[in-house]
Structure 1
């Protein structure tokens, strides 16, 4: 049975013994990511129509504010990554949680569309400080490769149910109290849960003997340059950008497609909501297969299944069993990228500059996530049906397959110190269960 807490011997002079806090941090992030995504991301879908009605504007205008929020997060992805590499996540994530909570309160009080845009752009900036990217960077700094996948999986499995928890919760709050009071309640939940957990649990791992600061900076710079000059990094970027575009477009347009196929709106919404739960299944499959199958092979196979599912949906979704089969097959790939990207980046470029490199990748991925639904809507308007949209989604999944399979997983030629700046190796006792 795993022990609740593992003690590691610090390699610094004096032989001080320090507590390994990695699994405590994982447990904290499992909670904060669930609440963070539920409040800062998923709640918007429930609030969309009530806000448009109250502000006397169109749902398109309100949706634009959400798109602006996502784009704001893309803008700060690289600076946030650099901060994390240099200073860790504690101060950044605590500050981000405090500001995000304040902004959710401000969101409840907006009176104009301009105010809504300003608040949601602020929320997008703070979301980049508190959600998956910074959380993963902290976890990667604590865990060796043997335990890293399990730690990341633990967080994403729990957070994968954020939509299943917060969509109905937000709906009930809106029905009972109205959208403004619902946001105030969500702000309280967000602040009470995320601020203390980030402030008191998150910390940097103990360092062993390390190089001088200027050497550490040089090593991080070398790791970043190695990634940005490696063609395989850009193949990964193409893969994850394409996949993000496909997931985002499907998320937004799946309900409309199923309704157009003759299904009741409640049926369509229920099965669209299952995408979050199916993402957990996909993550479990990926992590379980990693020791037996190359991660690139497994990810490419899942992306390929999604491509086939999207292409087949127009022909099978008119019946309930066909719709269920198609959505289930496609849903297995939801959330795969959130585990595959950290594994591939750390395998190839080490952990010294992980957050900066991941932030560089996150920028185009986030832009695709924001823009794909708009492109799909334009394609839908031009063709008058969903077949072209689903064919485009299938095609982008195939592009993702090609990107993942291009190149090998052989590590890039980064200086040895770039692999780990925390004085740990894969056999460090502190990383054992």
Structure 2
């Protein structure tokens, strides 16, 4: 089954205009709805009279809500496209950030972040990828996904400093008002005015049958295992790397600098993966990179006390940052076509996104009980499980 067979034969007009719009909206979305939270954590904790862990729980709740909403959002995208959903979601996100600025206690903060979670499920990568997948075939799809993720990969680079400057100048509440306006301006008009839908030739019943057939098969669940295990491992390293490097004896500034390399390397990994997909099976490319990440996680406790050792391990692990976001769409479309892509991706997101939220919490608990060496061992195990699942998927 190919993507071309699932779509009405209309010219791909405006496809790259849509990619450009999504590159902007994804950068703003991740920057405001996700990454900026870390800048606001300390001032919020002080003013709300809560611990950092209690306040950080709001972001975890947001991610879990987004995971729970993923199947419903996927079905909507397959049936109606992304224009209405992403326009409404970006408006909801902007309004929710305004509500965040007015939160007076933990209950209100958690309520606001539940709404932000719903908005995230409507506007971030899963929805954007569904729009891209419906517009492009083959190599064009790979390049379009790469373009969106490479630009959006700079979300933290742009919005963390911007948020810091705004908090310093106006305080955290007014800073959030500014970010809400920025997000609304950058996201609502492009979603509303630029996004268009390509018409599927498949009926609702046919799409439902594709989903039923896929979810009864072993290959689909191998993808669930692979991208859930990998996502949890990457999320754990993202959250704990700076703390662990400091514990290994590195100055905080160096630890933060090394952790910052992960974002740069995610671009490198995506470029490498997209280039190799023309010559090698995508599942095997990702499997090799996931396995290398496992090696890096095992090396870090052994070599990480020296600067060259820490740099080498971080560089090796960083190559796998972000490759899941471009590999999973390729594998789903390659096997199941595009008609039910968003529904299938939404099913996988329930597990993968939830694990990204929960795995770091489990890792923190494990570090307190057994130490960070065991955490890195668990990360390595997750990477190996992901690699083996993709090898099995390729053979199925």
2:173 pairs with 171, 180, 183, which one?
180
Secondary structure at 1:247's aligned position in 2? helix
Deviation at 1:117, TM superposition (A): 0.2
Tell me how far apart the structure 2 counterparts of residues 181 and 319 of structure 1 sit (CA, whole Å). 43
Secondary structure at 2:197's aligned position in 1? coil
Compare 244-253 and 400-409 and name the one that shifted more.
400-409
> Do residues 307 (structure 1) and 294 (structure 2) align?
yes
Deviation track 1:259-281 (CA, whole Å, cap 9, x = no partner) reads 11111112212221221121111
TM-score normalised per structure 1: 0.88
Deviation at 1:409, TM superposition (A): 6.7
**1:78, 1:356 within 8 Å by CA — same for their partners in 2?**
yes
Deviation at 1:11, TM superposition (A): 6.1
2:115 pairs with 118, 122, 126, which one?
122
Compare 148-157 and 271-280 and name the one that shifted more.
271-280
Q: In structure 2, what is the equivalent of residue 407 of structure 1?
A: 393
Runs of 5+ unmatched residues, structure 2: 1-7
**1:223, 1:350 within 8 Å by CA — same for their partners in 2?**
no
Tell me how far apart the structure 1 counterparts of residues 249 and 47 of structure 2 sit (CA, whole Å). 31
**2:132, 2:144 within 8 Å by CA — same for their partners in 1?**
yes
Tell me how far apart the structure 2 counterparts of residues 11 and 380 of structure 1 sit (CA, whole Å). 54
Runs of 5+ unmatched residues, structure 1: 1-9, 13-17, 411-433
2:90 pairs with 79, 97, 115, which one?
97
Deviation at 1:227, TM superposition (A): 1.0
Deviation at 1:297, TM superposition (A): 1.4
**Larger CA Rg, structure 1 vs 2:** 1
Deviation at 1:19, TM superposition (A): 7.1
Deviation at 1:206, TM superposition (A): 5.5
Tell me how far apart the structure 2 counterparts of residues 288 and 86 of structure 1 sit (CA, whole Å). 32
Q: In structure 2, what is the equivalent of residue 382 of structure 1?
A: 369
TM-score normalised per structure 2: 0.96
Tell me how far apart the structure 2 counterparts of residues 167 and 11 of structure 1 sit (CA, whole Å). 43
Distance 1:272 1:19, change over 3 A: closer
Secondary structure at 2:393's aligned position in 1? coil
2:231 pairs with 244, 263, 269, which one?
244
Q: In structure 2, what is the equivalent of residue 218 of structure 1?
A: 205
**Dislocated runs of 4+, deviation >2 Å:** 407-410
Tell me how far apart the structure 2 counterparts of residues 28 and 192 of structure 1 sit (CA, whole Å). 12
Secondary structure at 1:20's aligned position in 2? coil
**2:132, 2:141 within 8 Å by CA — same for their partners in 1?**
yes
Deviation at 1:366, TM superposition (A): 1.0
Tell me how far apart the structure 1 counterparts of residues 284 and 353 of structure 2 sit (CA, whole Å). 24
Q: In structure 1, what is the equivalent of residue 242 of structure 2?
A: 255
> Do residues 44 (structure 1) and 37 (structure 2) align?
yes
1:371 pairs with 346, 358, 361, which one?
358
Deviation at 1:181, TM superposition (A): 1.6
